[in-house]
């Protein structure tokens, strides 16, 4: 089997969010222990495993995602990476439908070479700022929202872009405040630079200290900032060390996530 490393939500290597992608045969997924071991060996935020489904159904491929520590219910960047591999290898042409734990997810190629994902919009529920979260994050929250079951995050707005970029949280302390982790966000200081809001994502509960670019987090960031900025179509910058841009389009209970991807490594899996 061929295994690939793809940088997602970027148009250049060594930036964006790397994901492993393994296309399996039509017989289905191997045992979960094998999937976990491959993901641990790849050792990126997520490794995607996909196999083709019979024609005529609701989806074209079945798709699952594993971190080095656990399986996750939804992953944007590894879905983008998988759609990129299917397109660039000629394995699948045109729009592709993935059957996942989060329902059927669509990926549509665009004329400019990008791919648009169609994901469920995260249901945002305002919550009180938990005691101790300001100290754990290293910044005072302005608002706090639960992002619902697909992501399981606590979305926190802080004062400004400079605060987001300067965060150095206590990851051990952060782990107690949500199922997956914390999304910290703020409005862009200068939208003329090509993005409307910034974010960083810390996911200690699934073994990821800081995720470079998180598609699934933007299913919560899109409705949050669209309401505040008064526009359905926005661009978010995830300001990690690798960084990446996600174009978001809020469409009611669905959120469109558009970005590029680059294959950086291709090899053979021998086990």
> Would you name the residues annotated as active-site residues?
46
Ranges of H-type helices in the chain: 32-42, 76-88, 133-137, 161-165, 171-174, 218-229
- DSSP reduced 3-state for 268: strand
Q: Report how far residue 185's alpha carbon sits from residue 18's, in angstroms, rounded to the nearest whole number.
A: 22
Q: Are strands 125-126 and 115-120 parallel, antiparallel or unpaired?
A: unpaired
Residue with tokens 């996600």, as numbered in its chain: 246
**Separation of alpha carbons 15 and 261, rounded Å:** 10
Classify 222 as helix, strand or coil. Answer: helix
The DSSP bridge pattern shows strands 233-238 and 181-187 to be unpaired
Task: Say if strands 17-23 and 2-8 run parallel, antiparallel, or are unpaired.
Answer: antiparallel
Distance in angstroms (rounded) separating the CA atoms of residues 264 and 271: 21
* Residue with tokens 């329902």, as numbered in its chain: 103
Instruction: Give me the residue label for tokens 């003329």.
Output: 192
Tell me the CA end-to-end span of the chain in Å, nearest whole number. 9
Residues 178, 169 contacting (CB under 8 angstroms)? no
């Amino acid at each position: 089997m061929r295994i690939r490393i793809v940088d997602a939500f970027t148009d250049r290597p060594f930036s964006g969010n790397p994901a492993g992608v393994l296309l399996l045969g039509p017989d289905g997924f191997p045992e979960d222990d094998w999937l976990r071991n491959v993901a641990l060996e790849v050792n990126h935020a997520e490794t995607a495993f996909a196999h083709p489904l019979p024609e005529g159904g609701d989806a074209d491929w079945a798709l699952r995602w594993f971190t080095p520590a656990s399986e996750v219910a939804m992953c944007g960047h590894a879905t983008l990476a998988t759609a990129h591999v299917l397109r660039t290898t000629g394995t699948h042409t045109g729009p592709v439908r993935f059957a996942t734990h989060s329902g059927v997810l669509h990926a549509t190629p665009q004329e400019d070479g990008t791919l648009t994902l169609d994901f469920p919009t995260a249901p945002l529920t305002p919550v009180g700022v938990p005691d101790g979260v300001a100290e754990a994050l290293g910044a005072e929250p302005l608002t706090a929202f639960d992002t619902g079951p697909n992501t399981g995050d606590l979305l926190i707005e802080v004062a400004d872009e400079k605060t987001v970029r300067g965060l150095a949280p206590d990851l051990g302390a952060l782990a107690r405040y949500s199922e997956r982790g914390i999304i910290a966000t703020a409005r862009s200081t200068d939208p003329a630079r090509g993005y409307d809001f910034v974010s960083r994502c810390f996911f200690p509960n699934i073994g990821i200290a800081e995720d470079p670019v998180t598609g699934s987090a933007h299913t919560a960031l899109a409705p949050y900032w669209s309401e505040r900025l008064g526009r359905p179509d926005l661009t978010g910058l995830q300001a990690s060390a690798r960084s990446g841009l996600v174009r978001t389009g809020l469409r009611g209970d669905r959120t469109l996530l558009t970005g590029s991807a680059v294959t950086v490594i291709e090899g053979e899996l021998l086990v």
